[in-house]
Structure 1
Amino acid sequence: MSSYLSFFGRLGLALIFLVSGWGKLAGYAATQQYMESMGVPGALLPLVVSLELVGGLAILAGSLTRWAAVALALFSLSSAALFHADFADPTQATHFWKNVAIAGGFCILAADGAGAASVDALVAKRRAIQRKQHRTTGTTP
């Protein structure tokens, strides 16, 4: 059951970034203008979209999960600080704390890994089999 929970947790975290990344592509000019209005160079938008899409796919697949989780946690915290730190506006405050919570989820994912239903688990299993074969044959991997 925990492998299913890990997968569905990754799915929820990944979808936020996949949908957001595609949305930024669809409204590229508006997103770039918004970033610039908040003092963030619009030239960074391709990196943001890449991080959201590639990171989201990595989390979804459970591939390089710990690295992707750390990157997306840092991105979530940066986004909270840069775009949602207006605590006088209840909507922005909610977005701020939502991003902090997402970062917390990614920290747990970085600490615990992707779980059994993941590319990371398949790679680890394959490596363990190869190490065992090398030990029995006396060769080094």
Structure 2
Amino acid sequence: MDHAFSKLAPVAAPVARVLLSVMFISAGWQKIGAYAGTQAYMEALGVPGALLPLVIAVELIGGLALLVGWQARLAAFLLGGFAVVSGVLFHLVPGFGLDGYEAQAQMINFMKNLTIAGGMGMVVAFGAGAFSVDSRGRAAAARPLSAG
């Protein structure tokens, strides 16, 4: 069975990069289109609205870097950290004091952010894989990081 899965590796990594990156790219574009509303939402939750350009840059640049597999490990590390921080600020903390469905929805969204961070951890560990700028530049991009 492992042999069958190993044959999927060249396809799995680029597909995973696309699936992970599309959320960040689309979120960045949506924030540009709804700039004032997003800024007001951030401020309502105690996050300075002046950080919105940085948030958009992280989502768009990080998402695009991950999509094409350029500096994928660094992009995944930053996006994974971003997913955890934004999950805490926009889902976990606001969920405190809520009841029923609202509390459950916030917890689900927080857990999704943690799951995204886990996927990013896999990219950090194993690299961009096939069909990436990183793999064209150096063979190490497709190998796992060594433990020692």
Fold-level match, TM-score > 0.5? yes
Q: TM-score range by the shorter chain?
A: 0.7 to 0.9
Which structure has the larger Rg? 1
Q: How much does 1:101 deviate?
A: 0.2
Give unpaired runs (5+ residues) of structure 1: 126-141
1:66 pairs with 2:77: no
Map of 1:75 onto structure 2:
82
How many angstroms apart in 1 are the aligned matches of 2:83 and 2:48? 17
Q: TM-score, normalised by structure 1?
A: 0.86
Map of 1:92 onto structure 2:
106
Q: How much does 1:4 deviate?
A: 1.3
One-letter amino acid of the counterpart of residue 123, structure 1: G
Map of 1:37 onto structure 2:
44
How many angstroms apart in 2 are the aligned matches of 1:25 and 1:75? 18
Superposed CA RMSD in Å reads: 0.9
Map of 1:103 onto structure 2:
117
**Which SS does the other structure have where 1:84 is aligned?**
helix
**Which SS does the other structure have where 1:59 is aligned?**
helix
Q: How much does 1:90 deviate?
A: 1.0
Give unpaired runs (5+ residues) of structure 2: 1-7, 140-148
Q: Percent identity?
A: 46
Q: How much does 1:35 deviate?
A: 0.3
Map of 2:25 onto structure 1:
18
Map of 2:136 onto structure 1:
122
One-letter amino acid of the counterpart of residue 134, structure 2: D
**Aligned residue-pair number:** 125
* 1:77-115 CA-partner distances (Å, limit 9, x unpaired): 000110101154111111000000000000110011010
Q: TM-score, normalised by structure 2?
A: 0.82
